[in-house]
Chain A
């Protein structure tokens, strides 16, 4: 079992995400993270799915995703073949802001992106390991809320969506 990133390039139709996720459900495979966004081209969406599975399984998943009528292309990569980022937000009570926290923020290159009378919101982008490390530390600072995005990724391989549409 390994971690893979599956990219799906698809028409923007209602229900397409459902059609994709049931392929995972049917085989009892958990989706670790999923992000969907419009691509560089209008009307075409890209969905990034992070999954832990064997390569054989991932190949079959990708083949079955690609079989969906409105999917233009699906492919998969190992972690080394993609450049990816995740974003994490941390809500900390103002009462816990002190010199120690300031040091933590500096060390991790986190940013304060919002300050309210009762709390501040920190932001960190990076790989899961990095955002996780900060999460563990901030638990000691009365962390009120935490949210992490799915993976946003691009492949290292040179391949453009335009070429897939031909």
Chain B
């Protein structure tokens, strides 16, 4: 054995350092122990955060990746350690979050024998990863990690899983790390067709009621400035998807609101009145489109999109503009003429006023005794920093927080969009906070979701991450209850919760906690929370049976958006 040879486990850690990973979220176990042993030697070069469950580790890595734009890294053992990552992988896959997850695996000679903690994680994770691989030999470790990082962060980002057998971790090999620069079966750059730009520009210039809908592709493509220039020049009203929120400041004069099932009234309704629909970095999710047969049928559709598989998947594009939207948006901005659309814009503002009168007023300044989720978020807006990150779970609180949070900066929106994973918020907020201790990270969560990953309060305690946790407690699985009320004759089947004393739980983890039940105490509590130096747990008891409106019920068209 040559002196330059090192253990496979050291190669794993050195490869992560070579990829400039700063932080690993993980949980040890038998088949990954050699890597954990190696980590002991590198704690000055790379940080490891021990979560309380592997699902917590992967959601934390997602939160970290979403706010930083970097690849989130996750480490777990074989068998149950690996299977506990699956929800996070599926979540990252559908929300295009770059991750590299490394799992330990039983020794190669035991593969396929039902060895202790053996599971076919490559098989199980296949539909939920952008790419995965099993490494059985020490010499294959570094190339697999290099390729994994390249795949995770390039093109349309996504999660990668690398399963490394124990023998490969303990064997000795050479460390010659070469970053991956690309390979023949995987094209990351699609040149934008000049012809498509020209056709799109002509259509936009002739349009009387053009309308922009943008999604997370703008953030992933780092095209926020390009989008702003495009809006500035064209004067076209623009609405964001759930994950696109924050790509431009909500203060932008062209910004008209949010799209989708619980989005704003005008952006949904007027989708069916525009003559040209310009979709940028979004995939026409069913929660955005409602009934596809009645979605924007009157409009010519221009679709700026990086992933060819998204073109014509849900909505037929008259002019597909394939490629990186950073590139296509600047080309398009140069090709269109300067314009304003005052009367068309006025229509949005008119409907916005209707929504304010019919919905927002009740939500933000309620007249009844019970607290509303909307007034909590509205108060947070008054005290939060401009670049505060909002991390939400899934359900009513998620929709309300999204609706009322005032997004001013990019990468301030962290939520489980496509998969709708309850339990996402608490660990994701931890991950987002660990990227930058000085940034305000506000985790808004419901009483259902928080109990799916509440053990991560332990990780918050141990890392002292100053996450501000706002629990909106209505003692119900609120979104399901709302559907039961509206569509299942108020048969509240298994949606009411007997909850524990959350403040005591938080305090047991040495986290400062407060419970608010009266409107009069809310303002001060939020102020106290946001200036507190350290993690803070604020439970707000809200109205039990409030509903989220506007709403496009399943199977309805965007123009059937309801205000009540």
- The residues of A with any CB-CB pair to B shorter than 8 Å are 10-11, 14-15, 18-19, 22, 26, 59-60, 63-64, 66-67, 69-72, 165
> Is B131 within 8 A of A69, CB to CB?
yes
Decide if B302 is an interface residue (CB 8 Å cutoff): no
Chain A residues positioned under 8 Å from B186 (CB to CB): 69-70
> Is B308 within 8 A of A63, CB to CB?
yes
Closest-CB distance, A56 to chain B (whole angstroms)? 8
Decide if B176 is an interface residue (CB 8 Å cutoff): no
> Are A60 and B126 also in contact (CB < 8 A) when A69-B185, A69-B186 are?
no
> Is B184 within 8 A of A69, CB to CB?
no
> Are A26 and B309 also in contact (CB < 8 A) when A69-B151, A72-B185 are?
no
> Is B312 within 8 A of A59, CB to CB?
yes
> Are A19 and B130 also in contact (CB < 8 A) when A71-B185, A72-B184 are?
no
Closest-CB distance, A70 to chain B (whole angstroms)? 5
- The residues of B with any CB-CB pair to A shorter than 8 Å are 122-123, 126-127, 130-132, 134, 151, 184-186, 307-309, 311-313
Chain B residues positioned under 8 Å from A69 (CB to CB): 130-131, 151, 185-186
> Is A66 within 8 A of B308, CB to CB?
yes
- Residue among A14, A15, A67, A165 making CB contact with B307, cutoff 8 Å: A67
CA distance A15 to B124 in the complex (A): 12
> Is B126 within 8 A of A19, CB to CB?
yes
> Is B126 within 8 A of A18, CB to CB?
yes
Instruction: Please give me the residue from chain B that is nearest to A65 by CB atom.
Output: B309
Closest-CB distance, B309 to chain A (whole angstroms)? 4
Q: Inter-chain contact count A-B, CB under 8 Å?
A: 39
> Is B309 within 8 A of A66, CB to CB?
yes
Instruction: Please give me the residue from chain A that is nearest to B312 by CB atom.
Output: A59
Instruction: Please give me the residue from chain A that is nearest to B131 by CB atom.
Output: A69
Chain A residues positioned under 8 Å from B132 (CB to CB): 15
Chain A residues positioned under 8 Å from B131 (CB to CB): 69-70
> Is B313 within 8 A of A10, CB to CB?
no
Closest-CB distance, B26 to chain A (whole angstroms)? 24
Most A-side CB within 10 Å, residue of B123, B132, B309 = B309
Closest-CB distance, A106 to chain B (whole angstroms)? 48
> Is A18 within 8 A of B307, CB to CB?
no
Chain B residues positioned under 8 Å from A15 (CB to CB): 122-123, 126, 132
Chain B residues positioned under 8 Å from A14 (CB to CB): 134
> Is A10 within 8 A of B123, CB to CB?
no
> Is A26 within 8 A of B313, CB to CB?
no
> Is B122 within 8 A of A67, CB to CB?
no
CA distance A134 to B127 in the complex (A): 41
Instruction: Please give me the residue from chain B that is nearest to A164 by CB atom.
Output: B184
> Is A18 within 8 A of B123, CB to CB?
yes
CA distance A158 to B107 in the complex (A): 47
> Is A10 within 8 A of B185, CB to CB?
yes
- Give 9 closest A-B pairs by Cβ, nearest first: A63-B309, A69-B131, A72-B185, A67-B309, A70-B185, A64-B309, A69-B186, A11-B185, A22-B127
> Is A22 within 8 A of B309, CB to CB?
no
CA distance A14 to B185 in the complex (A): 15
Closest-CB distance, B373 to chain A (whole angstroms)? 36
CA distance A69 to B151 in the complex (A): 8
Instruction: Please give me the residue from chain A that is nearest to B160 by CB atom.
Output: A69
CA distance A69 to B131 in the complex (A): 7
CA distance A121 to B185 in the complex (A): 42
Chain A residues positioned under 8 Å from B123 (CB to CB): 15, 18
Chain B residues positioned under 8 Å from A64 (CB to CB): 309
Closest-CB distance, A136 to chain B (whole angstroms)? 40
Instruction: Please give me the residue from chain B that is nearest to A9 by CB atom.
Output: B185
> Is A22 within 8 A of B126, CB to CB?
yes
Chain B residues positioned under 8 Å from A67 (CB to CB): 307-309
Closest-CB distance, B288 to chain A (whole angstroms)? 18
Q: List 24 A-B contacts (CB under 8 A).
A: A10-B185, A15-B123, A15-B126, A15-B132, A18-B123, A18-B126, A19-B126, A22-B126, A22-B127, A26-B127, A63-B308, A63-B309, A63-B311, A63-B313, A64-B309, A66-B309, A67-B307, A67-B308, A69-B151, A70-B131, A70-B185, A72-B184, A72-B185, A165-B184
Closest-CB distance, B536 to chain A (whole angstroms)? 43
> Is B309 within 8 A of A60, CB to CB?
yes
Chain A residues positioned under 8 Å from B311 (CB to CB): 63
For the complex with contacts A15-B122, A18-B126, A22-B127, 20 further pairs of A-B residues with Cβ separation under 8 Å are: A10-B185, A11-B185, A15-B123, A15-B126, A15-B132, A18-B123, A19-B126, A22-B126, A63-B313, A64-B309, A66-B308, A66-B309, A69-B130, A69-B151, A69-B185, A69-B186, A70-B131, A70-B185, A70-B186, A165-B184
CA distance A82 to B131 in the complex (A): 31
CA distance A95 to B115 in the complex (A): 51
CA distance A11 to B184 in the complex (A): 9
Chain B residues positioned under 8 Å from A70 (CB to CB): 131, 185-186
Instruction: Please give me the residue from chain A that is nearest to B130 by CB atom.
Output: A69
CA distance A14 to B136 in the complex (A): 12
